[in-house]
Every structure is written in C-alpha cells, then in structure tokens.
Amino acid sequence: MKIVKFSVFSGLLIALLLGVTGGGGGGGGTTPAAPTRATLKLSINNLPVGIKAATLSVNFILPTGVVPIPLAGNDASGAIAFSGNNINVQNSLSAASYIAATGVVTIGAVSLNGLVGGEYMTLNCAINPGTTVSGSSFPATATFVSASDTSSVAIVGLTIPIAVTLQ
C-alpha cells in the first residue's frame, strides 16, 4: 500500500513541477515552407439536365507572382488538362493563354461529344519565390464568356467555380 501511495504521490509531484516550470520542450518548431505550386480545378455548374457543352470559354485573373506552367510566351495550353468528370472526354481540344501584364488566363474547350457538369479542367501554376499567397488570393469563380451545346445552341447562366490547392 505504501508503494502505491508513494507512486501516486511521486507522479503528482512530477506533474506539479512540470506544470510550474513550463514542462520544457515544445516551441522551437519550424515555419512551414511557402507554397511553390498551385493547382486550380475548374467546374461547370448550372448546366441544364441532359445538355452537354460542346464549346466553353472562361477567363480569370491569377494573383501577382503566380504563372501557369509550362508557359511558352503567352501560350499556357501545356498547363491545362481535362479532369474530373471530363478526364476521359473524347474528340476534344483545349487551349489557354496567359497575359503576364494583367495576369489574365483565358481557357477555351471544344468537345464534339460534349462536356458534362462538374469538374472539367485543371490548371497547373508555379508560385514565384518571395510571393505570398493563400487560397483566398485566387478568384472563387471564373468569368463565364460563352458556351454552346452539341447542337450549337448558346448555353447561358453557367457558373465556373475554381477550387485551389497550394503545395
């Protein structure tokens, strides 16, 4: 019984001493590295039921210090790819341009079979050294420019949300 009381008493005494002295350790963590890449996922919302988009054009502005990669002059086509619900879309082309002076990205997509609602495009970007960005630095939606369905009828009212992942 004395051993049990002594063990409990010793444990309480150690806990009290650690609490009074701050417990040591901790602190000294490292600052997380700043992100160097951003992945943007664009989605098609409000596409009418049973309709597929044969053409779709959108644009948006990237934060200063964020650029599509790879980039050849103003051509950012190598930085985009069909993804999500449209990753296996057939008979399709996509193109993207980037204007460095304004940060404007324009993405166009053409699909003979049509694009369905949900995620449709991924844009890969580099974040320049010394640039501070967060998810809220990026636009929440792209500006919808134009779209038509597989019968060449204009589609109106689409919204194009953008989800951003920083790495």
Residues 117, 139: Cα–Cα separation, whole Å: 20
Q: Which of 43, 16, 13 is nearest to 164 (CA)?
A: 43
- String of DSSP letters for 30-93: PPPPPP-EEEEEEEEBSPPTT--EEEEEEEEEPPTTEEESS-BTTB-GGGEEE-GGGTT-SSEE
**Residue 71: what pLDDT?**
97
Count CA atoms within 13 Å of residue 84 on its CB side: 18
Residues 149, 6: Cα–Cα separation, whole Å: 81
**Residue 28: what pLDDT?**
59
Whether the pTM exceeds 0.95: the reply is no
pLDDT (tens place) for every residue of the chain, 167 residues total: 444 443 444 443 344 334 444 445 555 567 778 999 999 999 999 999 999 999 999 999 999 999 999 999 999 999 999 999 999 998 999 999 999 999 999 999 999 999 999 999 999 999 999 999 999 999 999 999 999 999 999 999 999 999 999 99
**Residue 161: what pLDDT?**
98
Contact 37, 138 (CB under 8 A): no
Domain ranges of the chain: 37-166
CATH 2.60.40.680 is the classification of domain 37-166 = yes
